[in-house]
Structure 1
Amino acid sequence: MDPLSEVLALLKPRSYITAGFDAGGQWALELDDLAGRIKCYAVVQGSCWLTVGGAAPVPVPEGACFVLPTGRTAVIGSAPGVTPARSSVVLDPDRSGEVVTYNGGGDVYLVGSRFEAGSPHVELLLRDLPPLMLVETSGDRARLRWSIELMMEEFREPRPGSALMVQQLAHMMLVQALRLALAAPARDDVGWFAALADPRLHAALAAMHADPGRAWTVRDLATVAGMSRSTFAERFRARAGETPIAYLARWRMMLAADRLRSGDDTIARIAGSLGYESEHAFNTAFKRIMGTPPRRYAAALGGRDAVRGHQ
């Protein structure tokens, strides 16, 4: 798989609630339910404003799609400065697959979903993402528009299987929005997503993801990227916020954590598949990056086979 697909597979995003939202008049909601979650919505009628983590308010025009991936508190409303109500109090979390009308409706209409991440190390994966990704659905964004239009159709005319249909469409909408965000990254973004948006760094990341157990050196990765060693190392650190080898080690540990969680492999087998010559070296790296020894991590998650170590 490509790096973005692998990260999403590791996150295990599950559409927790998918709904339409129809608001009217002066209104604002504090989205206080974002911890460990991803929100992806499109404005199909009207416009609104978003304020994320205390930053300046950002206008969201009709036809735009936004992703809130970092868990920071956000406020969405008809205009900046409107006193917000808490969404966790106002909105019913059990109304997935329906259209929620707020403050009379009629002025702005959104469709989208809130995703629960099934990974226990979700914070490690989400913390480096931009706090807000805003993309247009006009022009050549046909796939994203198609997902949104089909979702609206399912809300307007529910049919057998509509609940499953809108959840699948929500996943497609999320991936398409992330693709478009990768195609037009902000210059000052830093993290694995920003590095993935750089075509040359993308090649190096894809190589690491394709063969995480290989004894990669910075020179090897620079060759894959078509750059000199020093230029590659400097560019990778500037965009990713860490060295290539540090990224590789962190990715290996997240893969290891996922396998420990499943309980299907021994620690020794996981260590060997990820390029560690000894279980001791793997244990040391895992504890340094994940904060706890792998055996204890597996035991806490009930990974029986991994806890036994050697088989």
Structure 2
Amino acid sequence: MDPLEDVLALLGTRAHLSTGMTAGGSWAVRFEPPDGVKFNTLRRGRCLLDVEGLTAPIPLAEGDCFLLTHPLAFTLFSDPDAVPVDAGPLWTAAGDRLPHVGDGVDTFLVGGRFSFGDRARGLLLDGLPPVIHVPADTDEASAVRWALGQIDAELRGRPIGSTLVAEHLAVVMLIHVLRLHLAREPHAVSGWLAGLADPVVAAALRSIHARPAHPWTVAELARAGAVSRSTLAARFKDTVGLGPLDYLTRWRIELASQRLRIGDDTLATIALAVGYGSESALSTAFKRITGSSPREYRRQRADAPAVVASPSPAPQPAG
């Protein structure tokens, strides 16, 4: 697995599709800060997106989509003079019908959200800008357009298994959006995501993620990128913010944390699986990175209230 696949899998990435929204004429809908990562695609018409903290609204055209990666309030609107209505009551009043605002149906949006595990902010989302906008009229966005078209077809036709298929397609769309953003604006991300845009650093990251338990040296990782140790060390630190072996340690601790959260393996077994020769070596590194011992971490997670996920989430505002 490559680093992006590893992180999305470790975070338990899931898509949740909501009902769409139609609008027309002069309208504006205000949304509360989202839980998780929100996405919208404009299937018909035009509108503008205003996100809290951004200096100017983002124009959206038919086929465009956007990801809102930070918990910020936002407004979708056709007319800056329109008085915004709150999305929550709008969806509640719609019941089983498609929510509608304004006059006419010249605008149609489909949206949803992505949910992640409790390490999503530090591992993924903090390295992204608050909004990623993917215009439909760019050649690079063809894969995103394909995924969005397939999602639309599944939701309209409702064949057997359509919800599950559409949710998996949404995760495909997320990966394509992240790829496109890394290719288009590599300097707009930070951390390991920024490293994926640097071929030398990316080679080292792929090596680490392919064999996290291997006793890597900087020299070995440098050979993967066909550069010197000093070159790799400097470029890795400049892009990722950590040295390559520091990153290796932190990734091993992420893997160990996951196994402590979801399994009952012994600490000795986990230590060997993530590259430590003994339970004590894992415990020392784990406490240095997280501030608690592996046993304390497991006990804290076991004592936390269980969260039961509904297999069929209730429809939520498309924004």
TM range (shorter): 0.7 to 0.9
Matches within 5 A, 1:30-179: 30-34=31-35, 37-57=36-56, 58-78=58-78, 84-88=84-88, 90-92=90-92, 99-104=98-103, 106-117=105-116, 119-125=117-123, 126-138=125-137, 139=139, 141-179=141-179
Residue 207 (structure 2) pairs with residue 198 (structure 1): no
Matched residue SS, 2:187: coil
Structure 1: gaps spanning 5 or more residues: 304-311
Q: Which residue is 2:263 aligned to?
A: 263
Among all aligned residue pairs of Structure 1 and Structure 2, give the percentage whose two residues are the same amino acid: 39
Q: Which amino acid in the other structure matches residue 202 of structure 2?
A: H
Displacement of 1:85 after TM fit? 4.8
Displacement of 1:196 after TM fit? 1.3
* More contact order relative to length (CA 8 Å, sep ≥ 6): 2
Distance, in Å, in 2 between the alignment partners of 1:261 and 1:223 is 35
Distance, in Å, in 2 between the alignment partners of 1:273 and 1:152 is 42
Q: Which amino acid in the other structure matches residue 172 of structure 2?
A: M
Change in CA separation of 1:47 and 1:275 when aligned onto 2, cut-off 3 Å: same
Output the TM-score relative to the length of structure 1.
0.83
Displacement of 1:255 after TM fit? 0.8
Change in CA separation of 1:169 and 1:239 when aligned onto 2, cut-off 3 Å: same
Distance, in Å, in 1 between the alignment partners of 2:234 and 2:278 is 31
Displacement of 1:133 after TM fit? 1.9
Output the TM-score relative to the length of structure 2.
0.81
Change in CA separation of 1:228 and 1:39 when aligned onto 2, cut-off 3 Å: same
Displacement of 1:6 after TM fit? 1.0
Describe the superposition over 1:227-282 as per-residue Cα deviations: whole angstroms up to 9, x where unpaired. Answer: 23223222222222222222222211111111111224211111122222332231
Structure 2: gaps spanning 5 or more residues: 304-319
Q: Which residue is 1:222 aligned to?
A: 222
Q: Which amino acid in the other structure matches residue 207 of structure 1?
A: S
Distance, in Å, in 1 between the alignment partners of 2:46 and 2:238 is 35
Change in CA separation of 1:243 and 1:46 when aligned onto 2, cut-off 3 Å: farther
Q: Which amino acid in the other structure matches residue 190 of structure 2?
A: V
Change in CA separation of 1:79 and 1:201 when aligned onto 2, cut-off 3 Å: farther
How many residues matched?
299
Describe the superposition over 1:190-232 as per-residue Cα deviations: whole angstroms up to 9, x where unpaired. Answer: 2221211222221111101001112223332222122232232
Change in CA separation of 1:277 and 1:68 when aligned onto 2, cut-off 3 Å: same
Q: Which residue is 1:306 aligned to?
A: none
Is the 1:263–1:302 Cα contact (8 Å) retained in structure 2?
A: no
Tell which deviates more after alignment, 200-209 or 174-183: 174-183
Is the 2:27–2:84 Cα contact (8 Å) retained in structure 1?
A: no
Describe the superposition over 1:140-165 as per-residue Cα deviations: whole angstroms up to 9, x where unpaired. Answer: 54332222112222333334433223
Displacement of 1:73 after TM fit? 4.1
Distance, in Å, in 2 between the alignment partners of 1:146 and 1:89 is 32
Displacement of 1:89 after TM fit? 5.0
Is the 2:30–2:84 Cα contact (8 Å) retained in structure 1?
A: yes
Is the 1:18–1:170 Cα contact (8 Å) retained in structure 2?
A: no
Displacement of 1:59 after TM fit? 2.8
Q: Which residue is 1:307 aligned to?
A: none
Matched residue SS, 1:302: helix
Matched residue SS, 2:127: coil
Q: Which amino acid in the other structure matches residue 113 of structure 1?
A: G
Distance, in Å, in 1 between the alignment partners of 2:241 and 2:145 is 33
